[in-house]
Structure 1
Amino acid sequence: MTPSCRVAVIGAGAAGLATTKALLDAGLDVVTYEKGDRPGGLWARDNSSGLSPAYASLHLNTSKGRTEFADFPMPAEWPDYPSADHVAGYLADYAKTFGLTPHLRFGSTVRHVEREGTGPLPWVVTTESGETGRYDAVVVANGHNWDPRMPEPGYPGTFGGTQLHAHDYRTPEIFRDRRVLVVGMGNSAMDIAVDASNVARGPVLLSARHGVHIVPKYLFGRPADATGAAMAALPWRVRQRIAETLLRLAVGTPQSYGLPAPSGGLFQNHPTISDTILHRLTHGEVTARPGIDRLDGDRVVFTGGTSDPVDVIVWATGYRVTIPFLTSRWIGDDAERLPLYQRVFHLEDPSLAFVGLMQSTGAALPVVEAQAKLVAAHLSGRYALPAPLEQRRAVARALRAATERWGGDRRPVMRIDFDRYVAGLPREMKAGRVRLLRGARPFTPARREETPA
């Protein structure tokens, strides 16, 4: 008889846990490798992996109802925007509730993944300790918010104070009685600027070359992202016009708070979700600055020629997409540009799949849950992929649409529209079942005498 599919999952954060559960639900044999000492990935602040960017004040920027797994609702008594510690505990409870823990290998850093031949168990996973395991398939779920990206190229000049990336920030004590500059306009930049403004010497400076839309966590008494669900069926340009009008009526424009104008529409340039930054700006505790021109000892010179004395610079400049255990054979020269069918399946070999390698307009958990179920359906033979040529055509269509919407310099390959994508994957699963009925071949593990431990 054809043996059960043996699958390696890499990472035990939200994506890896959802994948482990989906594969087990499909009756597959699963081993999940995790560098840290507990489930939860980047949400677990005290994870021994050292990769978590979570700081003490971090909370969800998408509401509980739009963030939770469909299979595991968050507790009703929780606030609408739970803390990072809440989410870490939620993911740990998810692993315990669904019996995932026995399948998680903590303290196992994957060093190398490669396919060797076409026979039984062709994928070889090697850890830093030298242990190896062989598998029919591999699912990469290692996340992409852990490898800090510094400004490239760096700014001219030298700086005599303290510099850190937002990834290394934990509590505001580092800013006490110091003059602080935060560079960036994302969620972490705003949170850190607000935290620092309570202890810093003088107003915290917030620098960015381009602006973003700032969306409060509540609009008209409801979580702001609830409007997304209500408008999901509309074309994105229509949704954008409606949402921008509501936002302008509720809080005004970023320019009215001294911030630069957004460089794109609300659904084209990822908004920043914050209730508190606008309050600190209007009270003078945070002050906007333009982009940096150069560093000059204990001062930072901004475009336009103004300068300020600064003791600490926080670079909230994002993250690189890094998959260190896969060679260029599988990810090319840049993992951000890796084309995947449905943002899941490798075009050359769909026994290599990815869960969470995307940039969503909404929460991540429902996305990775839907991706995990699609992977499990494929590897259990309940879903058939389209022909390779059609997969490539679909990827090309998605890239054209993403580039038109987000531009070519904002990770268009990785971009997805949250509501459309989460609604579309079940339809894709149904289409895959239809392909099976029409004679398409499902994924089938190669026959083997026995399964190695």
Structure 2
Amino acid sequence: MKIAVVGAGFAGLASAKVLTEFGHQVVVFDKTPDVGGVWSATRRYTGLYTQNNKGSYSFSDLPMPKHYPEWPSGEQVQAYLEQYVETHGLSEALRLSTEVVRAELTDTEDGWLVTSRHAGEAVGDPERFDHLIVANGIFSDPVIPAFDGLAELLRAGGKVVAASQLSSLEEARDKNVVVVGYGKSACDVAAEIGPVAATTTVVARQLLWKLPKKLGKALNYKYLLLTRLGEALFRYQTLDSGMEKFLHGPGDAVRGSMVSSVGAVSKKQLRLEDLGLVPRGEFSDIARSTVSLATDGFYEQVSDGAISVHRDTEIKRFTTDDGGAPVAVLSDGSTVRADLVVCGTGFHQRVPFLDQEVTGRLLDDRGNFHLYRQILPHDVPHLTFAGYNSSLFSPLSAEIGAVWTAGYLAGVLELPPLEVRREHVADRVDWMEKRTEGKHARGTNVIPFSMHQVDELLGDLDLNLSGPARAKQWLLPVDPKAYRGVTDRLRARVGA
């Protein structure tokens, strides 16, 4: 088939590599001038590092370079993806600096017409493809809230940007900076600019639990959360393994004690009580919608006064002080100078190049994506999604998702009947809604159940790892190399 892939991040590149190996002609579009998706030089914010250690954050057939640090920088991740392109000869498949303006089903719905525009050029003629893969990412379209008084802030010389748009420390030097949010990007940015900004204020509507990279300054968190045991500490929708049934049954007290112990050590190590930054709820809430590591230097700077945190509050409006300088008025009654406002306030989940009619066929009445296995829509033909499942193992998850798509296109998947798939996805989204209290990224959030997702995809193809291989992952961090032969096993089956 001739396949269009929109997005050149982990998911788009994995799709190109795997599907090319199955004999398909693949074209990858991305409006940025480099590969990487959220790791692109045009999108990564200053101070961006991975949350995973380098050993778990890679494709199965290409480990991260040995000289990389334990937690690679954004620049290093992007360089790794460039290496992936070179290793697998994907350069000719790439159309960088090329935005997909529109993708529409043909009149007979037997394929797609993709209209694109190269940077600086006019919109091109539509190009026909047999299949379309949406890999534009769920973390690529930042949300900037509609603040009251924004025009007044801008007239006073203030500036508002998303965290992903802050590419240089110089933009914050000697400025009074307000960082909105308390997730990874917000805390990363605050810690990075703290030493150079005049003031750094974090405005957090809700505090999140954070986990130190090394618990007790000794135990790498990869042995806690990047194992199957770590994942099993949190209740999945179904309890399939004997260990999970034990942990959430007779062994629930043991499981609860393990989680509580990690929380107690984290709270003490990060000095959350001393700083007045203990989040509401229980430490187990850390896996409700995202799992966030503590940013290096963040709490130290809070302790030193370089960063101030206004918890359980938000910006009510922007205005100016008596001297005409921009300020933010907060819901706790305080005001803070706001020369630069950096928003780490989440992302839109949308596919802007699809028309309203097609988009409506992808979503339920609450705006949630209904995708079987986070990949296959119910009612739009010749379309699959890649990377629409936030994962702790993004490269591996993208690769296995691409293998699943290859099997689907080859006709070797025995899918349940459509109505069964509809019911399955509806139940999954309802479960996400309740588990995350609505913070499920419109049906695309599977964290922390990354390996359950991988198991389900491979189970559909009867390609799962052996019992002993998976048992090893219960105590040791998941090593993507264990999945290196999966693509070849499917290729042998289909004769590709």
The TM tier, using the shorter chain, reads 0.7 to 0.9
Task: Indicate which of 338, 355, 362 corresponds to 2:386.
Answer: 355
8 Å contact from structure 2 (residues 362, 370) kept in 1? no
Q: How does 1:168-207 map to 2 (within 5 A)?
A: 168-202=165-199, 204-207=200-203
Q: Distance in 2 between matches of 1:333 and 1:181?
A: 39
In the alignment, structure 1 residue 329 sits paired with structure 2 residue 329: no
- Letter of the structure 1 residue corresponding to residue 159 of structure 2: T
The correspondence for 1:231, drawn from 229, 232, 235, is 229
Alignment partner of 2:333 out of 295, 302, 305: 305
Residue 345 of structure 1: aligned partner = 376
Residue of structure 2 in register with 1:284 after alignment: 305
Contact map agreement 1:11 1:33 (CA 8 A) in 2: yes
CA distance in 1, matches of 2:2, 2:411: 13
SS of 2:114's partner is strand
Tell me what 2:140 maps to: 146
Q: Following superposition of structure 1 onto structure 2, how do residues 390-401 of structure 1 map, counting pairs within 5 Å?
A: 390-401=420-431
Partner of 1:293: 316
CA distance in 2, matches of 1:334, 1:257: 45
May I ask how many residue pairs the two structures share in their alignment?
A: 419
- Within 1, Cα distance between the matches of 2:417 and 2:107? 22
**Which residue pairs with 2:265 in the alignment?**
249
In the alignment, structure 2 segments of 5+ residues that lack a partner are: 118-122, 236-247, 249-254, 321-325, 465-496
**Distance verdict in 2 for CA 1:311–1:349, change over 3 Å:** closer
Matched, 1:127 2:116: yes
TM-score, with structure 1 as normaliser:
0.85
- Does structure 1 conserve the Cα–Cα contact (< 8 Å) formed by 2:233 and 2:259? no
The answer (yes or no) to whether the contact 1:210–1:263 under 8 Å persists in 2 is: no
Amino acid across the alignment from 1:329: E
Q: Identity, % of aligned pairs? A: 27
Give 3-state SS (helix, strand or coil) of 1:313's partner: strand
Per the TM alignment, residue 256 of structure 1 is displaced from its structure 2 partner at its CA by 3.9
| Whole-angstrom CA distance in 1 between matches of 2:82 and 2:387 | 18
**Counterpart code for 1:126:** T
SS in 2 for 1:266: helix
Summarize the Cα distance change of 1:36–1:304 in structure 2 as closer, same or farther, 3 Å threshold. closer
Q: How does 1:31-46 map to 2 (within 5 A)?
A: 31-45=27-41
1:76 deviates by 2.7
Q: Which residue of 2 aligns with 1:136?
A: 130
2:60 counterpart of 1:70: yes
Give the SS at the match of 1:195.
Answer: helix
Tell me which moved more, 83-92 or 328-337.
328-337
Match of residue 395 from structure 2? 365
Q: Judging changes above 3 Å, is the alpha-carbon distance between structure 1 residues 70 and 222 closer, same or farther for their aligned structure 2 residues?
A: farther
Contact 1:157–1:296 (CA under 8 A) maintained in structure 2: no
Return the offset for 1:154.
Answer: 4.0
CA contact under 8 A between 1:56 and 1:171: conserved in structure 2?
Answer: yes
Q: Give 2:452's match in structure 1, choosing from 404, 409, 420.
A: 420
AA of the residue aligned to 2:453: Y
Q: Distance in 2 between matches of 1:144 and 1:180?
A: 27
Using the TM superposition, give the Cα deviation of residue 233 of structure 1 relative to its aligned residue in structure 2, in angstroms: 6.2
- Matched residue, 2:101: 111
**What are the equivalent positions in structure 2 for 1:313-324 lying under 5 Å apart?**
313-324=341-352
Q: Distance in 1 between matches of 2:52 and 2:463?
A: 30
Offset, 1:295: 2.4
Residue pair 2:8, 2:29 contacting (<8 A) in 1 also? yes
Residue range with higher mean Cα deviation, 209-218 or 298-307: 298-307
RMSD of equivalent CA atoms: 2.6
Secondary structure of 1:314's aligned partner: strand
Read off the aligned partner of 2:229 and give its amino acid letter: M
| Secondary structure of 2:68's aligned partner | coil
